[in-house]
Amino acid sequence: MKFGKEFVAQMVPEWQKAYMNYNYLKTLLKEILRLKQRNRQAARPAGLERAATLYRAFSGLIQRQNNPTSPSRKDHNDNQFILVSFVEEDGSESLETTFLKLAEEGGEWEQEFFRRLDYEFNKVDKFYRFKVQELMAEAENLTKQMNALIAFRIKVNKLQGLLDSPLPSKSNDEKSDRQINTIREENQEQEQDNNGGFKHVQLLEILDHVKLKRTLETPSEFIKGCVSVNPEETEVTISRENLNKVENQLKQAFIEYYRKIRHLKSYSFMNVLAFSKIMKKYDKITSRKASVSYIKMVDNSYLGSSDEVTKLMERVEDAFIKYFSNSNRSKGMQILRPKAKKERHGITFSLGFCFGCLIALIIALIFIIHARDLLDKREKNQYMKDIFPLYSFFALIVLHMITYAANIYFWRRFRVNYPFIFGFNQGTELGYREVLLLGFCLSVLTLTSVLANLDMEMDPETHDYKTLTELLPLGLVLLVIVILIFPCNIIYRSSRFFFLRCLFHCICAPLYKVTLQDFFLAEQLTSQVQAFRNLEFYICRYGWGDYESRENTCRTNDVYKTFYFIVAVIPYMSRFLQCFRRLYEERDTMHVCNGLNYFLTVVAISTRTAYYLYKGMSWKIISGIFSAIAALYGTYWDLVVDWGLLQHKSKNRWLRDKLLIPSKTVYFVAMVLNVLLRFAWLQTVLDSQLSFLHSETLIAIAASLEVIRRGIWNFFRLENEHLNNVGKYRAFKSVPLPFMYYEDEDEEKDE
């Protein structure tokens, strides 16, 4: 791989603008090369070089070494091409290069190259200094947090010792004493140095000056925070439960802090290497030796010579291993440096195998339907009403998985940092191959069940239906649920549990703090309203025993009709409550407008459902009006707020200033598709019927169009989120720290 591609691949996506613009400098060098080649061709007649070589003196087969004591004229002029120095500008040190051969032909291009090179270096150096200062400030804060944690540990261990004193356990007491003594000895030996070490203080007195920050992440904390006078802080309660919570918070803070250090160290190394590479290219093109003096200045700069980050990394490793890994270095480093996920050939093979099986099953299904002439039999209508909704449930899920796999593919292609945005643990995120594999496997199981369930006729002798065949869809649903909640570490357990945790947060809104992954999943659920209704049909059909006699009494039951309303609005109500929670925490009126969007959609869906169940011109008019209002409002919110488009003052007319996709046409096509697919509900209000399509098929197609629209929305929503992170150089998640010092609180009030 060429260095330019490797350089881009190693970049922190959110810091991309802060890296050296290697490609632009290569473009300048190509212009210099093109100019020099043009000048050489103009100055030398054709064939002259060939003729000159035929009469050139033979230098011999044995190369004679030059006398090292007599420097050549070429060596004498090595350092006369450029002058590199550091100058003070606005209180900061900047690199400035003077090109000494400006009078030569093409000298203005080389001068422009060094001017741009200096600009890139000063940009990189300034960014690096700023990030190092941020790290040092954060290190001081973590130091204070660790002091409080150690004091907390001593208090808890003392309290635990008093509670356990009637029934002493020798091994536990010895272990506790060793931990306390070790902590005291270590902290008495560590004194504050210039790099910000632990302060030499009486540890047990620290707890008198700190409070615990209340994160409001659990339902109980949220409820307490709503009724508390000061919901952001609480007194320190000495308990093992609080200690475990504090340790987990600080452990996550150290892991994220270590990632910042590693990224900053990689940033420094890759940029210094890029300057070295570009200067070597310059020497090769111009036949000069200017790289030595320039790279020497780069190595002597803060970017190339500072060892603060390296030392900080070593101290963080030692502290994490000592306090969070029980001095087990291999375990601690495994947590700090998790292995990157590698693509496996087995995934690709399995994906191809499942895809082949899927194609074979589709062909078999088509042939069986044609051979048995099932589309023309009288049982067709019964099958479409009773069985088709059961399997269309899986079809909608598989379609959603395929669109998500496509999203992942294009996010990776355009370098959208989706693992960071979603908060996936490093190495656990699923690639598009894994998602496609899961989708194809579910498709194979579904089509296999469909083929087994195609016999719609009674037994000619007993006139009984085959109950086992009717239970196949239920068995498939139960199998998927069991796999989803299976506790063993197979079939992407971390991803399954991540999904279940986010789903639980969506269901329990607004009791949990709303993160991006939570409301993103809730958005997906709003596009699966028909899947929720099909799931309700599962409960009705198998719960009330309709499958035994192949009857369908669900749609005539009042309870079923009531829940037909409820299940449709549950996802939208979840998003509405999430907006309420974010309004409570952030005090941003934009969440009120966003909540209004989902409230209008709830009204629109409820009126459309009423028209679908009860008909009538009044319901038709009401549902049409509210559906149009909700669709227009939702379209505006999608395009302007979620996607950040339709900005008439942007340099990209009606788009935004920053775009990841080179072709602007893609954005306009996506906006048009969003509008068209938003109005797929018209088929419900206008009673659109096609002679060659069953009504259930038409409903499934409309639901599929909404899933496709959501897939398009996903890409541009995450693209906009990524560009917002890039604009703020936000490449790491912020982990809330557990303790708040009184002096910090006073400083915040003063500010």
Range of weakest confidence among 31-35, 160-164, 636-640? 160-164
- Residues spanned by the domain of 271: 1-45+80-337
State the burial class of residue 59 (Cβ atoms within 10 Å of its Cβ: 0-12, 13-18, 19+).
exposed
Residues 328 and 354 in one domain: no
Q: Is the pLDDT of residue 751 over 60?
A: no
Contacts of 689 (CB under 8 A, 6+ apart): 695, 698
Residue 261 lies in a domain: yes
Residue 604 lies in a domain: yes
Give dist(CA 358, CA 18) in Å, integer. 47
The model's pTM is: 0.84
Residues 304 and 384 in one domain: no
Give dist(CA 261, CA 264) in Å, integer. 5
pLDDT tens digits, one per residue of 661-689? 999 999 999 999 999 998 887 777 666 66
The pLDDT score that the predictor gives to residue 165 is 54
Domain count, the chain: 2
CA angle at 727 for the pair 726 and 729, rounded to the nearest 5°: 55
Residues 332 and 366 in one domain: no
359 pLDDT band, cuts 50/70/90, is very high
615 pLDDT band, cuts 50/70/90, is confident
Residues 371 and 287 in one domain: no
Last residue of a domain, one of 308, 337, 366: 337
Give dist(CA 239, CA 475) in Å, integer. 47
Last residue of a domain, one of 293, 308, 337: 337
Last residue of a domain, one of 337, 365, 385: 337
Residue 50 lies in a domain: no
pLDDT tens digits, one per residue of 513-557? 899 999 999 999 999 999 999 999 999 999 887 787 777 888 888
Q: Which two tokens stand for residue 683?
A: 């088929």
Residues 449 and 404 in one domain: yes
Residues 275 and 360 in one domain: no
Residues 349 and 303 in one domain: no
Residue 737 lies in a domain: no
Residues 505 and 411 in one domain: yes
Residue 275 lies in a domain: yes
Residue 53 lies in a domain: no
Residue 55 lies in a domain: no
Residues 253 and 120 in one domain: yes
Residues 693 and 612 in one domain: yes
Residues 457 and 606 in one domain: yes
Residues 298 and 399 in one domain: no
Place of tokens 């009705």: 540
Residue 577 lies in a domain: yes
The pLDDT score that the predictor gives to residue 459 is 54
Torsion of CA 552, 554, 556, 557, to 10 degrees: 140
